């Protein structure tokens, strides 16, 4: 990973202080080597050719980070090893305490329980970036954050393998009716049966949605001797001997096991309903660990009662409780008790991605994204800002500064920015926009501290400005 650089932030809500936060006493220490993730690996490769520039003394302790909700140790280690001031709490905070705490932090790391609403974020005058150490970002007002130049990162795919492994377990469990046999034994009943219990070898798995999870599952299923067919709205290269089929109907006709791995969209709502159950093989199985809206559950109940579907595994539901407890009842989903009464149905509480490995991977991925953003301004994988990256400054590039200008995407801005930067030597520059927000990065050479201040003052004075940062 490339070297951290000093940070200065000015925003609409904060008078520019022009303190460039260089601590005369501090000594720069290189950040640790890669933490082993594929992201770290690829970044390391990219930067290996040019040694990172020796920075002017500065103090990364200036960056204050608040981590809530027991963020995984992997993420905490990466952030503390950068020298940032990291405060770690095991729980989320009530809104009033959150507002108090968020006032002076530059970075906040949360999971799914902390709600970062506009009301909370408007108090966060120094906030540069939010790390969601989880899959979803619904808990953050992404639009408000973007409008105020606050980047948001998450980790959407770190748990793909965990989901794929759960599905493999479910395929065998359904084929052997393991859930029912286990329940019977727990009740004291010995019921040794082989009728309608099958090996999975030689059976056909139909994967709907061949993305991160679907494609991993394809490899695992073939290793167990299954044939794999898949259907996806995109034409995707098959892994191993898997075969793409042109329509969902074709997949449903061929598959002994149908497993769903599509996103929640208007097109995937009730993707599997009465008509699709009719197209499935008699005695086939359905697995849904994608999103609860993808299966029409009353139609599934009918198909199972009729014996058309021999078993099902559901990990996700249209309505899911916010906390653990005895909530899987009819008042949450009107059909809950009918579902619970069926045989050979595995019901799990949205645990597909819930493993220690997935939590660790999420910790690494999000913390590394935060470090890249804080130290270099790289927005790759941000969910709410344009994705912009630029190679790191090197040892040969002394007295360079990286200028970051987050601004409204209105006509004429680039001309004005270029007029300001034209007085200096711009080595490289890149800019991109997303909706009405644009993100510009420029590396400027042969600059003195006074120049940095002048550049920042000039950019701050433009009416399009959302946030200016200078890393040097
Ligand atoms: N159960 C869990 O704990 C858990 C954990 C992680 C992800 N998920 C869910 O699993 C699903 C898949 O996740 P992923 O990471 O593999 O997503 P992904 O984006 O990598 O793959 C989704 C695939 O579905 C395809 N697709 C989209 N619409 C389609 C349609 N109408 N018909 C057929 N294919 C379609 C896309 O082209 C893509 O290839 C998502 O809904 C995600 O929310 C659940």
Long-range contacts of 242-248 (CB under 8 A, 24+ apart): 242/207, 242/210, 242/218, 244/210, 248/208, 248/276
Cβ of 214 closer than 6 Å to ligand 1, yes or no, is yes
Name the closest-CA residue to atom 5, ligand 1: 353
The pLDDT of residue 51:
57
Return the H-helix or E-strand segment holding 345: strand 345-347
Partners of 87 in the β-ladder? 66
Q: How far does the chain reach from its first CA to its final CA, in angstroms?
A: 17
Does residue 58 register a pLDDT over 50? no
- pLDDT of 56 > 90? The answer is no
- Report the pLDDT value the prediction gives residue 472, as an integer from 0 to 100: 80
Residue 24 has pLDDT above 60, yes or no: no
- What number is the average pLDDT over the span 374-387? 95
* pLDDT for position 240: 97
Distance of CA 197 to the CA centre of its chain: 39
**Pseudo-torsion of CA 47, 66, 127, 116, nearest 10°?**
120
The single residue of 87, 320, 337, 419 carrying the catalytic annotation is 320
Alpha carbons within 13 angstroms on the beta-carbon side of residue 11 total 19
- List the catalytic residue out of 291, 456, 465, 469: 291
pTM score, two decimals? 0.82
Closest ligand 1 atom, residue 214 Cα: 16
Instruction: Specify the pLDDT at position 50.
Output: 52
Tell which one of 211, 249, 353 to mutate to probe ligand 1, the residue whose CB is within 8 A of the most ligand atoms: 211
Answer yes or no: are the C-beta atoms of 2 and 50 closer than 8 Å: no
Which residue ranges make up each domain of the chain?
10-157+356-471, 160-347
pLDDT at 114 over 60: yes
- Using one digit for the tens of pLDDT, what is the confidence trace for 123-162? 999 999 999 999 989 999 999 999 999 999 999 999 999 9
Distance (Å) from CA 290 to ligand 1 centroid = 6
Active site residue 320: yes
Q: Is the confidence at residue 3, as pLDDT, over 60?
A: no
- Split at pLDDT 50, 70, 90, the class of 471 is confident
Q: Tell how far the Cα of 435 is from the centroid of ligand 1, in angstroms.
A: 25
Q: CB of 231 within 8 A of CB of 208?
A: yes
| Cβ neighbour number for residue 344 with a 10 Å cutoff | 21
Whether 10-157+356-471 and 160-347 share one fold: the answer is: yes
- Mean pLDDT over 99-121 rounds to 96
- What percentage of residues in the chain have a pLDDT greater than 90? 79
Token reading at 348:
């799990």
What is the CATH code for 10-157+356-471? 3.40.50.720
**Residue 352 Cα: closest atom of ligand 1:** 3
Q: Provide DSSP, 359-402.
A: HHHHHHHHHHHHHHHHHH---TTBSSS-----PPPBTT-TT-EE
Report which ligand 1 atom has the smallest distance to the Cα of 236.
39
Q: Choose the most confident range, by mean pLDDT, from 24-28, 186-190, 446-450.
A: 186-190
Minimal-distance CA residue to ligand 1 atom 1: 352
Give the least confident one: 163-177, 252-266, 381-395: 381-395
Higher pLDDT pick, 321 / 2: 321
**Tens digit of each residue's pLDDT (9 = 90 or more) over 340-353:** 999 999 999 999 99
Report which ligand 1 atom has the smallest distance to the Cα of 209: 24
> 264 C-alpha to center of ligand 1: Å?
8
Nearest CA to ligand 1 atom 42: 290
- Catalytic pick from 212, 350, 360, 408? 350
Q: pLDDT confidence of 219, banded at 50, 70, 90? A: very high
Average model confidence (pLDDT) across the chain: 88
What's the pLDDT band for 61 if we cut at 50, 70, 90?
low
CATH: 1.10.260.40, 3.40.50.720, 2.30.30.40, 3.40.50.2000. Which one for 160-347? 3.40.50.720
> At 66, is the secondary structure helix, strand, or coil?
strand
Query: Which uninterrupted H or E stretch holds 97?
Result: helix 95-102
Q: Whose CA is nearest to atom 18 of ligand 1?
A: 211
């Amino acid at each position: 990973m490339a070297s951290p650089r000093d940070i200065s932030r000015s925003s609409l809500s904060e008078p520019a202080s022009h303190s460039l936060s260089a601590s005369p006493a501090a000594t720069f220490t290189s950040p640790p080597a890669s933490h082993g993730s594929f992201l770290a690996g690829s970044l390391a490769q990219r930067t290996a050719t040019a040694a990172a520039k020796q920075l002017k003394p500065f103090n990364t302790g200036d960056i204050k980070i608040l981590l809530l909700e027991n963020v995984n140790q992997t993420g905490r280690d990466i952030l503390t090893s950068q020298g940032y001031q990291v405060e770690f709490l095991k729980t989320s905070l009530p809104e009033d305490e959150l507002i108090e705490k968020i006032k002076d932090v530059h970075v906040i790391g949360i999971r799914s329980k902390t709600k970062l609403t506009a009301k909370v974020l408007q108090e966060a005058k120094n906030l540069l970036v939010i790390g969601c150490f989880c899959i979803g970002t619904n808990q953050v007002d992404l639009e408000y954050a973007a409008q105020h130049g606050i980047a948001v990162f998450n980790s959407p795919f770190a748990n793909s393998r965990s989901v794929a492994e759960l599905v493999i377990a479910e395929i065998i469990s359904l084929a052997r009716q393991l859930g029912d046999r286990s329940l019977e034994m727990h009740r004291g009943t010995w019921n040794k049966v082989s009728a309608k219990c099958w090996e999975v070898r030689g059976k056909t798995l139909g994967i709907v949605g061949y993305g991160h999870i679907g494609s991993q599952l394809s490899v695992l299923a073939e290793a167990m001797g299954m044939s794999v067919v898949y259907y996806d709205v995109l034409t995707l290269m098959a892994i191993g001997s898997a075969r793409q089929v042109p329509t969902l109907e074709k997949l449903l006709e061929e598959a002994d096991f149908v497993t769903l791995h599509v996103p929640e969209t208007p097109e995937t709502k009730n993707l599997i309903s009465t008509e699709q159950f009719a197209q499935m093989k008699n005695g086939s199985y359905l697995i849904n660990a994608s999103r609860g809206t993808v299966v029409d559950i009353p139609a599934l109940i009918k198909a199972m009662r009729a014996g058309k579907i021999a078993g099902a595994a559901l990990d996700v539901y249209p309505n899911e409780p916010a906390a653990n407890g005895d909530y899987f009842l009819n008042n949450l989903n009107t059909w809950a008790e009918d579902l619970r009464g069926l045989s050979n149905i595995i019901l799990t509480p949205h645990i597909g991605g819930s493993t220690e490995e997935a939590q660790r991977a999420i910790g690494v991925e999000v913390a590394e994204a935060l470090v890249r953003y804080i130290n270099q301004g790289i927005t790759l994988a941000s969910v709410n800002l344009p994705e912009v990256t630029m190679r790191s400054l090197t040892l040969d590039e002394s007295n360079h500064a990286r200028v970051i200008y987050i601004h409204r995407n209105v006509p004429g801005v680039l001309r004005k920015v270029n007029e300001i930067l034209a007085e200096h030597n711009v080595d490289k520059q890149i800019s991109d926009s997303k909706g009405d927000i644009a993100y510009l990065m420029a590396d400027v050479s042969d600059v003195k501290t006074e120049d940095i201040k002048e550049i920042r003052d000039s950019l701050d004075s433009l009416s399009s400005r959302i946030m200016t940062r200078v890393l040097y």
